[in-house]
Structure 1
Amino acid sequence: MTAATGGVTPPRRRGPLRRSPLVHLILAVLLLAVTQTLLIKPFQVPSRSMAPTLEVGDRILASRVAVAVSAPGPGDIVVFSRPDDWGPPTERTLLRTLAGWVGDVVGFGPSNQDALVKRIIGGPGSTVRCCSAEGLVQVDGVPLVEDYVVDDLAFIPGVNDCSTTPASPRCFAAISVPPDAYLVMGDNRANSADSVVACRGLTAPQESCARFVGREDVLGKVVAVMWPLNRVGVFSDDGR
Structure 2
Amino acid sequence: MTTDERTGATSSSWKVLRETVILLVVAVGLAVIVKTFFVQAFYIPSGSMEPGLVINDRILVEKPSYWTGSPQRGDIIVFKDPGDWLDQGEDAGPTSPVASTLAKIGLYPSGGHLVKRVIGVAGDKVVCCDKDGRISVNGTPLAEDSFIDPQQDCDGPMAGCSGWSATVPKGKLFVMGDNRDESADSSFHLCTADDGPDCNKNDAYVSTDLVVGKVVALVWPLSHAHIIHRPEVFDDVAEPAKQD
TM-score range normalised by the length of the shorter chain: 0.7 to 0.9
Name the counterpart of 1:3.
none
Going by fraction, where is helix more abundant, 1 or 2? Answer: 2
Question: CA separation in 2, counterparts of 1:210 and 1:129?
Answer: 17
| Map of 1:26 onto structure 2 | 25
CA–CA separation in structure 2 for the residues paired with 1:67 and 1:92: 26
The AA in structure 2 aligned to 1:59 is R
Larger Rg: 1
Does the CA contact (< 8 Å) of 2:79 and 2:113 recur in 1? Answer: yes
Counterpart-to-counterpart distance in 2, 1:16 and 1:126: 62
Shift of 1:68: 1.4
Shift of 1:169: 2.4
User: Does 2:220 align with 1:222?
Assistant: no
Matched, 1:144 2:137: no
- How big is each residue's C-alpha offset from its partner over 1:135-190, in whole Å with a ceiling of 9 and x where there is no partner? 000111110111211242x418xxxx99xxxxx92344111111010000000001
- Shift of the 183–99 alpha-carbon distance from structure 1 to 2, 3 Å rule, reads same
The alignment's C-alpha RMSD in Å is: 3.4
Query: How many residues are aligned here?
Result: 213
Instruction: List alignment gaps of at least 5 residues for structure 2.
Output: 1-11, 194-198, 234-244
Q: Distance in 2 between matches of 1:69 and 1:196?
A: 28
1:190 to 181, 190, 194: 181
How many Å separate the matches in 2 of 1:188 and 1:81? 20
TM-score by length of 1: 0.76
Distance 1:81 1:172, change over 3 A: farther
User: Residue 184 of structure 1: SS of its match in structure 2?
Assistant: strand
Percent identity, aligned pairs only, is 32
Q: Could you give the per-residue CA deviations for residues 117-149 of structure 1, whole angstroms, max 9, x where no partner exists? A: 000000011110100011000111110111211
Query: Cα gap change, 1:91/1:229 in structure 2, threshold over 3 Å: closer, same or farther?
Result: closer
8 A contact 2:217–2:225 mirrored in 1 = yes
Stretch deviating more after TM superposition (39-48 or 96-105): 96-105
- 1:200 and 1:92 map into 2 onto residues whose CA distance is 27
Distance 1:191 1:46 in 2: 13
Q: Which runs of 5+ in 1 are unaligned?
A: 1-12, 163-167
Q: Deviations over 1:170-223 (max 9, x none)?
A: 344111111010000000001111111144997xxx983861110000001000
